[in-house]
Amino acid sequence: MARKMALAKKQQGKAPNDQMALSDEEQRLKDDRAKFEKLLAQSRVQNRVFNEMAERAPRKNRRVSAKAESTSPNKRQVKPPKRTTGKPLQTDDGNNEEVGNLSLPLQVGDTARRYDFESLICLETSKPLGPIGAAQLVPWVPPYVSDYIVILADPRTQSGDLRQSARYLTSNLEPTILDQVIIVNADPVKETKSWISRTELKTPIRMFSDQNWEWMRSYSAVVSDGRWALSIMVICNSGRIRKCFQEVDPSKASQLVMEAVASVAGE
């Protein structure tokens, strides 16, 4: 009996320590659980912020990412098709397909992008067009919608072909068509203004500078095989590139523009 009583007292003496040890273990688990929930909540917040920042990122940054991806060693570089003199690059299939790889030059049937025009230097202000100026220039951004825009571009500085075409266009085109025509050259604004001042253009025509060829590279005006020449592009008010001509003869520029405009208007 005495031994049983002693054993009972011994067990009663250990009970508080066991209960204390159990409580410590439960507390540790509780603390770990709280830390995990806190970290999980922080992770969700960070993911949400990252997604919001990605959605708000400027489109130009997305273009840079697409270009970097396209130049990966694992990707095959695609060269644009060769052009023929005074002939369309390809016929317009009219399909509403998505814009392809942003690092490749746009072709007939592709969709033009307003922000590509933001870097063009305006002759009147000697500054880039920026978002508002680009929106006013292109024909598909409300409320500045028009029927089309015709773009003559030449990557050669002081291009005789481009300047001769400007003389022909201002003499031969109707004002309603000429209002929708712009010229993109590779000359500094000062040089272009000097040329205009000593040249008698029958009608003023809008001109923009693209010295770094940013716009010209995106819109097939600079050919990858090294051929530099005058090109003409027509973009309609849906943003779709309808016509594109390469290696244009200046004497045929007015005729090509009128035929292209008539074709776009009839679609």
Residue 163 half-sphere exposure toward CB, CA atoms < 13 A = 17
Q: Is residue 251 part of a domain?
A: yes
pLDDT of residue 98: 42
Spell out the residues 6+ positions from residue 247 whose beta carbon is closer than 8 angstroms to its own: 83, 84, 85, 86, 227, 229, 230, 231
Q: What's the pLDDT score for residue 74? A: 34
Residue 36 lies in a domain: no
b/e 44-72 (16+ beta carbons within 10 angstroms → b): eeeeeeeeeeeeeeeeeeebeeeeeeeee
End-to-end CA distance of the chain: 112
pLDDT for the residue 51: 53
> Cα separations (Å) of 13 from 18, 23, 26, 175?
10, 17, 21, 107
pLDDT in tens, the chain (267 residues): 566 566 655 555 554 454 455 577 677 767 766 765 665 566 555 555 445 554 554 444 444 344 444 443 333 333 443 433 343 443 333 333 344 445 678 989 999 999 999 999 999 999 999 999 999 999 999 998 999 999 999 999 999 999 999 999 999 999 999 999 999 999 999 999 999 999 878 888 999 999 999 999 999 888 766 668 899 999 999 999 999 999 999 999 999 999 999 988 766
For position 95, which CATH number holds?
A: 3.40.30.10
pLDDT value, residue 213: 93
- The pLDDT assigned to 103 comes to 60
Nearby residues of 258 by Cβ (< 8 Å), 6 or more positions away: 173, 177
Please report whether residue 60 resides in a domain.
no
Structural domain total, the chain: 1
Residue 69 lies inside a defined structural domain of this protein: no
241 part of a folded domain: yes
- Classify residue 44: in a domain, yes or no: no
Phi then psi for residue 251, to 5 deg, are -70, -20
**Residue 160 maps to a domain:** yes
Predicted confidence at residue 210, as pLDDT, reads 96
Whole-prediction pTM value? 0.62
- Does some domain include residue 253? yes
Domain of 211 in residue numbering reads as 85-265
